[in-house]
Chains A and B, each alone.
Chain A
Amino acid sequence: MRRYSSDWYWYYAINYTLVIIIIFPIYWTLISSFKKPSELITSEPTFYPHDLTLQYYDQIWNFDRLKRLQDTESEDSESSGVEIESKFRLDGEGVKRPFMNSAIVSAGTIILTIIVCTLGGYALTVLNTPLKNFFFLLVILPILIPGISLIIPLYKLLKDLGLTNTHLGLILIHTCGMLPLGIFMMRNAFNSIPSSLREVAMLEGSSELKIITSVMLPLAIPGLLTVMVFAMYVSWNDYIYAFIFINSPENTMLNISLMKIALGGSQFEMKWGSLTAGSIVSFLPIIIFYTFLQQYFVRGVTGSAVKE
């Protein structure tokens, strides 16, 4: 491409236009989360917050279900007839606990997914596994049916296995949901690696597991990282499974908590401030994770450029 150096102007013009278009809704979400309620809804939209407020973040991070209700009461709440005992609720913990819960489920899903998909993708590509094509089709199946239509049988199953209301239950479901994409990606990744590399390793007497970890995986890193990003995406952003299968307050997932805060007290209300602040809170970890992996993407590129 270097030959067409006069085209670089175009290259960057197109890229930056796209960047502006794509960033805008996110930028809007971000600035909205810092605007005061009266600036939030107005016929003269402001493109940066004139009057900065952290009230939504404060509310989310230090969210206390009982306190919030007290605050909406105009009178002084000192005279409250109800004393609060904090034993059985998340007293002022905000979304810290749900945040941890989501982190655990996501980490679990990522780890389990890369193990299962690497092994599966390897077996279905490189090795002479019997019924290869049949297994492959089978593994693709989960993308063909909307998760929500399996909710009721899945609920019964989890209940029989004692996995409702557990992190493990969600991890297993998400990993299963990641199988099609994960195995497909790993298959493509392994496919592009010359088979001679494996033969050399085998002549040296390496076991299959050794070959995977020391020869194949380093070359399949772009694919592997993509799988990790998607595993994070699927588990971190999941709403419906986390909503249906978790029943106790201490196991609530982040998205569920944020949605409850944003939708507020009535079935019609929509608190734009809390909604946007909440989405930024749930947005940051996954962005950090992705940026963190980016460095390895680059390394992966140079890795795959190895000449035979």
Chain B
Amino acid sequence: MKLLVKLFLISLTILPFAKTTSAEELIIWSRGGWSDWMVEGFNKKMADEGKDIVAINNLIGHADFQVKFTAALAAGERVDVANIDLINVPYYAAIGALEDMTDFLKSQPYYDQLNGPMLALGSYDGTHFAAPNAADVSGYVYNKKLMPNPPKDWAEMTSMCEDFAARGQLMMAWPSKSYGGMIFTGMPVAWANGGSWVSKDGKTAELNHPKTVEWFKHYQNLINIGCVPENVDVWDWPDKQDGFLAGDIAMIGTGNFMINVVKDHTEKVDAGFTAFMGSDGSRNSAFIGGDLIAIPVTTGAKEAALEYIEYVLSEAGQIEVYTKNGGIPIRADLFEGNPYLTDDHMVFANASTVGDVPYTTVYQELMDPWQVANQRIFAGEDVQTVLDEQNAIMQKIIDAGH
């Protein structure tokens, strides 16, 4: 007891109470680990230019960023720059949580080179509220030890599947239980096939689009052939990723971050990457995930914030910081001659130019019917029936609005 009190008092005295600095502080909330580098680079640049701005990175991570950011906004907490999961940006823009940055973006020489779908997600009613920042692009990873060459179209995928099933091996798996995982690595296959999830304006649910139906049927067929785990309807992201890394599954959908993950598992995995393809293999697609960067209206340093965003979008930020740490640049003009873009990265970089990301202000709520659709279909229910039903629920949610 006394010991505890003593420890407590001692520890209080160790605490440095206030950080004294005369510089203007810029409070940055971010999700990706690479943001530490970005902030360091920015601080150095500011110091070099003799500007009295110091950025402080509050690295929150991906898990529950949403909860923290929402609570902070509701309580009026000061945040100068926020890296927001791009799918949630339309909602924040719609409710007026973000500062207008249209003039700033349009005045940049590389405006036309910015990733289109990401830029679109950051705008509302023709005004830009957020800039592309960091792209997480999806695609297939395959193990060359089990599958020397990836399939080029769905017919080849099906025949390879039959071979795997005949040998009693697993060819593919996907995380039906993880709605985020399915829209990231499942839906783009339907997009490549010409399918749709919601309409471009986000007003109409199009889950039962004939081309989307085709994709679900194709994947369902792979389960029936037997090269996909029978219980794939209840698999989560780690299930199939662990299966791949252990050398038991030949091909899974994943993202560009996988390029770094496989480096720890070279014993069993010789990884190759390829883009998602439609049924005839003529078109590719990807889910362009990642962060948009925005200035919340609770900011206390808008000018400095714009300065930071300018650095993030600059060559120094995109190449020397972001690409160097395994990311895909969000400016198309930075693909060529980029020393950090390996062939593997280029698969994702190229996919990002033809990829997509749905625009809706009720994204999170739509995840509910989406997850149900995936789990029911991959458990063997009739594709059309399930999609019609879940599409109706999605439409209802869209109509109710945020």
Contact between A and B in the complex (any CB pair below 8 Å): yes
**B316: chain A residues within 8 A (beta carbon):** 81
Closest to B74 in A: A152
**B27: chain A residues within 8 A (beta carbon):** 247
**A250: chain B residues within 8 A (beta carbon):** 16, 19
Q: Which residue of the partner chain, among B32, B37, B265, contacts A38 with CB atoms under 8 Å?
A: B265
Binary per-residue interface labels of chain A (11-32) against chain B in the complex, 1 for a CB within 8 Å, 0 otherwise = 0000000000000000000000
- Name the interface residues of A59-96: CB closer than 8 Å to any CB of B: 65-66, 68-69, 72-74, 80-85, 88-89
- Segment of A2-10, A137-145, A256-264 in the binding face: A256-264
> Which DSSP category, helix, strand, loop or mixed, fits chain A's interface?
helix
Question: Is A196's CB within 8 Å of the partner chain B?
Answer: no
- Name the interface residues of B183-224: CB closer than 8 Å to any CB of A: 184
Is there an interface contact between A72 and B75, defined as CB atoms closer than 8 Å?
no
Query: In the complex where A88-B54, A107-B11 touch, is A268 in contact with B268 (Cβ < 8 A)?
Result: no
Query: In the complex where A111-B8, A265-B260 touch, is A69 in contact with B77 (Cβ < 8 A)?
Result: no
A256 to B255, CA, bound (A): 25
CB distance from A307 to the nearest CB of B (A): 27
Is there an interface contact between A65 and B59, defined as CB atoms closer than 8 Å?
yes
**B71: chain A residues within 8 A (beta carbon):** 151-152, 155, 244
A265 to B32, CA, bound (A): 6
**A38: chain B residues within 8 A (beta carbon):** 264-265, 267-268
Question: Is B96's CB within 8 Å of the partner chain A?
Answer: no
Is there an interface contact between A69 and B36, defined as CB atoms closer than 8 Å?
yes
**B31: chain A residues within 8 A (beta carbon):** 267
Is there an interface contact between A267 and B77, defined as CB atoms closer than 8 Å?
no
Question: Is A159's CB within 8 Å of the partner chain B?
Answer: yes
- Segment of B39-47, B159-167, B392-400 in the binding face: B39-47
Query: In the complex where A82-B37, A100-B14, A244-B68 touch, is A263 in contact with B61 (Cβ < 8 A)?
Result: yes
- Segment of B272-280, B317-325, B364-372 in the binding face: B317-325
Q: Which residue of the partner chain, among A65, A103, A110, contacts B33 with CB atoms under 8 Å?
A: A65
Give the most central of A38, A151, A159, A270: most B CB within 10 Å. A38
Is there an interface contact between A41 and B4, defined as CB atoms closer than 8 Å?
no
Question: Is B117's CB within 8 Å of the partner chain A?
Answer: no
- Name the interface residues of B26-69: CB closer than 8 Å to any CB of A: 27, 31-34, 36-37, 40-41, 43-44, 47, 54-59, 61-64, 67-68
Question: Is B263's CB within 8 Å of the partner chain A?
Answer: yes
Question: Is B76's CB within 8 Å of the partner chain A?
Answer: yes
Question: Is B155's CB within 8 Å of the partner chain A?
Answer: no
Query: In the complex where A104-B11, A107-B8, A151-B71 touch, is A266 in contact with B268 (Cβ < 8 A)?
Result: no
Interface contacts beyond A73-B340, A81-B316, A259-B61: sample of 5 additional A-B pairs, CB < 8 Å, sorted by A:
A69-B34, A82-B321, A110-B4, A111-B4, A152-B75
22 CB < 8 A contacts A-B: A37-B264, A37-B265, A38-B265, A43-B248, A66-B37, A80-B320, A80-B324, A81-B320, A85-B44, A88-B56, A89-B36, A104-B11, A159-B75, A159-B76, A164-B77, A244-B68, A244-B72, A247-B77, A260-B59, A265-B34, A266-B62, A267-B180
Which 6 residue pairs across A and B have the least CB separation, nearest first?
Answer: A267-B62, A81-B320, A155-B75, A266-B257, A37-B264, A107-B8
Q: What residues of chain B have their CB less than 8 Å away from a CB belonging to chain A?
A: 4-5, 7-8, 11-12, 14-16, 19, 27, 31-34, 36-37, 40-41, 43-44, 47, 54-59, 61-64, 67-68, 71-72, 74-77, 85, 136, 178, 180-181, 184, 237-238, 241-242, 245-246, 248, 254-255, 257, 260-261, 263-265, 267-268, 289, 316, 320-321, 324-326, 340
Q: What residues of chain A have their CB less than 8 Å away from a CB belonging to chain B?
A: 37-38, 41-43, 65-66, 68-69, 72-74, 80-85, 88-89, 100, 103-104, 107-108, 110-111, 151-152, 155-156, 159, 164, 167, 243-244, 247-250, 259-260, 263-270
